[in-house]
Structure 1
Amino acid sequence: MAHDMKKDIIFRLRTIKGHIDGIEKMVEEGKTCDEILLQIAAIKSSIEKVGYSILENHANECLINMEKQGVNVDEVNKVIRSILKFVK
């Protein structure tokens, strides 16, 4: 994983951790279920984005290795883009 990507992922994960701490505080303070669920939905979306970024990075690294071995990278990349569109 590239250094810049790693920094971005760590930043996003720390932000998510902060939001989780915020939800814990909301529960302790007796906030409404609607307020808490809204924050949980935001965290869920954020963690999915982190997962997609890691998946995309992994796929791209695999493609580079495949290209070195003579595999048709354009076709494989096309399939990966289709998968990412579907799961997003």
Structure 2
Amino acid sequence: MRHTTRKPMSEDVLGKRRLLNRLSYVRGHVEAVRKMVEKGAYCPDVILQNLAIVKALKRVNELILAQHLRSCARDAMRSDDADAQARVEREIVNIVRNSC
């Protein structure tokens, strides 16, 4: 999907730092899982680590979505631009559809 009216992520420094910290956490856990697989770790232990990664990524998505709703989506919905409003509606529905 290409949209010329898309804005970059917010420059909220605290929010960006929180996202980067969570992504670093995920990266560390992915590396730990890789090492566990290399060493032949007990399967349930690997699965539990994977579930921690999934949970952390869900939280990253929640933070990004919250920021989007506070900025881009709010601006579009307050505007008189029906196309922008419809685009935001489609984006949110698509996110919800793909999150289940």
TM-score by length of 1: 0.72
Q: Once the two structures are aligned, what percentage of the paired residues are identical?
A: 29
Matched residue count: 73
Q: Which amino acid in structure 2 is aligned with residue 21 of structure 1?
A: E
RMSD: 2.1
**Which residue, 25, 31, 40 being the options, matches 1:15?**
25
**Which residue, 74, 77, 81 being the options, matches 1:63?**
74
**Aligned counterpart, 1:27:** 37
**Which residue, 51, 61, 69 being the options, matches 1:51?**
61
Unpaired stretches in structure 1, ≥5 consecutive residues: 71-79
The structure with the largest helix share of the pair is 1
TM-score by length of 2: 0.64
1:47-71 Cα shifts (integer Å, max 9, x gaps):
001001100100110325645x48x
Moved over 3 A (4+): 64-67
* Deviation, structure 1 residue 22: 0.3
Secondary structure, counterpart of 1:31 in structure 2: coil
